[in-house]
Amino acid sequence: MQISVVIPLLNEEQSLAELYHWIAKVMRSNSFSYEIIFIDDGSTDGSWNTIAAIADKDKAVKGIKFNRNYGKSQALHAGFLKAEGDVVITMDADLQDNPDEIPELYKMITHEQYQLVSGWKKKRYDSVIAKNLPSKLFNAAARKTSGLKLHDFNCGLKAYTKAVVKNIDVYGEMHRYIPVLAKNAGFYRITEKEVKHQARKYGKTKFGPERFIFGFLDLLTIWFLSKFGRRPMHLFGSLGVLMFIIGFFTAGFVGFSKLFKMYHNEPNILVALNPWFYIALTVMIIGSQLFLAGFVGELILRSKRDKERYLITKTTENY
């Protein structure tokens, strides 16, 4: 199979049929072998009924339904597990991503040997204040932190080799940083393609301004995980030992100063009344706690086990 199109969605009943026909038209006109995987992330409208009806008529369409809303990352994770195509295309279900971009994205993966191609919506039809400006700041921070020179990390329209989607773990809210996850997993042939952005035709956006706050927090998380995720002791242990040494020598200096002044009969105070003594003890305790945190982190890393992160209640008969 050449292409798997993975589409996470939440309450997009009105756009699904139009999106399906558009994708199918593009695929058939280019003679692609393909599958379309819709992941219903706990919709409360008639999205699942629409997916099931389409799947009954077209065996290339497959559907997965979650029992509740788990988030876009979990939906992508489920879709990536099921995808069978040599090239995997992701897009949103709100018709803001243009399926006409698929052939060129496919060509960039198969002919130009890129492992990941991220869409870049250079011209956007979103609110400048509510979405465009925060998005620019967010992407600038992501570029600086990750080293990837992409303009739009969070664009839903992306293309991947099968190897990429099978070897990255998209969890939490990390769908915003799939290019960074891919880079950390050893996939370095990453580029971007300018794609068309269309104004939302039906419904309303599912994301509020809080997504940018969460996005920056996730950016810090992924930076930490990329640097120290597999060796937490290197960070916590190093800081812990450093702070313990500083506290130890500070306490030693306080004790030496006390003895020196006693020997020379100089005015002195009790060690227990010296504020530097308590500062030294505090630093030593914090250092010990950081060291233990790194040690516990190493134990957790070595003993963690995979577990279900979402509950699938239904799939179409094609699965």
CATH number at residue 99: 3.90.550.10
User: Rounded to an integer, what distance in angstroms lies between the CA atom of residue 286 and that of residue 119?
Assistant: 45
Domain-embedded: residue 314: no
Mean pLDDT along residues 192-218: 71
Bridge partners, 7 (sequence order): 38
Could you report the per-residue pLDDT of 234-248, keeping only the tens digit for each? 888 899 999 999 999
Could you report the per-residue pLDDT of 52-91, keeping only the tens digit for each? 999 999 999 999 999 999 999 999 999 999 999 999 999 9
Range of the domain at 249: 232-303
Place of tokens 């020997």: 263
Domain-embedded: residue 315: no
**pLDDT for 278:** 92
DSSP label at 113?
Answer: -
Residue 140: half-sphere exposure toward Cβ, Cα within 13 Å: 6
Domain-embedded: residue 205: yes
DSSP label at 101?
Answer: G
**pLDDT for 144:** 82
**Are 216 and 82 members of one domain?**
yes
Of the pLDDT bands very low, low, confident and very high (cuts 50, 70, 90), residue 142 is: confident
Number of domains in the chain: 2
**Amino acid at position 203, single letter:** G
Pairing of strands 87-90, 158-161: antiparallel
Query: Is residue 180's pLDDT more than 80?
Result: yes
- For residues 174 and 276, the model is more confident at 276
Last residue of a domain, one of 194, 229, 264: 229
**Are 106 and 158 members of one domain?**
yes
**pLDDT for 246:** 94
Helices (H), 162-235: 162-167, 178-184, 210-228, 232
Mean pLDDT of the chain: 86
Mean pLDDT along residues 28-43: 96
**Are 83 and 118 members of one domain?**
yes
**pLDDT for 38:** 97
The pair phi, psi for residue 119, each rounded to 5°, is: -70, 150
The pair phi, psi for residue 159, each rounded to 5°, is: -130, 140
User: Rounded to an integer, what distance in angstroms lies between the CA atom of residue 55 and that of residue 35?
Assistant: 11
User: Rounded to an integer, what distance in angstroms lies between the CA atom of residue 173 and that of residue 27?
Assistant: 30
Domain-embedded: residue 31: yes
Return the percentage of the chain with pLDDT > 70, whole number: 87
**Are 206 and 261 members of one domain?**
no
- For residues 233 and 226, the model is more confident at 233
Cα 60–chain centre separation: 28
**Amino acid at position 77, single letter:** H
DSSP label at 99?
Answer: G
Cα 205–chain centre separation: 19
Of the pLDDT bands very low, low, confident and very high (cuts 50, 70, 90), residue 124 is: low
Domain-embedded: residue 317: no
**pLDDT for 223:** 72
**Are 221 and 283 members of one domain?**
no
**pLDDT for 210:** 61
**pLDDT for 297:** 80
**pLDDT for 52:** 96
**Are 96 and 202 members of one domain?**
yes
**Are 176 and 277 members of one domain?**
no
- For residues 200 and 34, the model is more confident at 34
- pTM assigned to the model: 0.74
- Strand arrangement, sheet containing 61-66: 190-194, 116-120, 158-161, 87-90, 3-9, 34-40, 61-66, 312-315
Could you report the per-residue pLDDT of 269-312, keeping only the tens digit for each? 787 788 988 999 999 999 999 999 888 887 776 665 555 667 88
Q: Are 86 and 161 in contact (CB under 8 A)?
A: yes
**Are 201 and 212 members of one domain?**
yes
- Where would I find the beta strands (DSSP E) of 45-142? 61-66, 87-90, 116-120
Rg of the chain (C-alpha set): 26
- Highest mean pLDDT pick, 20-29, 166-175, 214-223, 262-271: 20-29
Last residue of a domain, one of 172, 203, 229: 229
**Are 92 and 223 members of one domain?**
yes
Last residue of a domain, one of 229, 259, 285: 229
- For residues 77 and 131, the model is more confident at 77
Domain-embedded: residue 171: yes
Of 110, 83, 92, nearest to 1 by C-alpha is: 83
User: Rounded to an integer, what distance in angstroms lies between the CA atom of residue 157 and that of residue 25?
Assistant: 18
**Amino acid at position 83, single letter:** A
Three-state SS at 237:
helix
**pLDDT for 89:** 98
**Measured on CA atoms in the order 139, 94, 75, 68, is the torsion positive or negative?**
positive
**Are 60 and 172 members of one domain?**
yes
**Are 291 and 211 members of one domain?**
no
Domain-embedded: residue 217: yes
Mean pLDDT along residues 186-208: 79
- For residues 143 and 42, the model is more confident at 42
**Are 32 and 91 members of one domain?**
yes
Domain-embedded: residue 100: yes
**pLDDT for 99:** 95
Query: Is residue 128's pLDDT more than 70?
Result: no
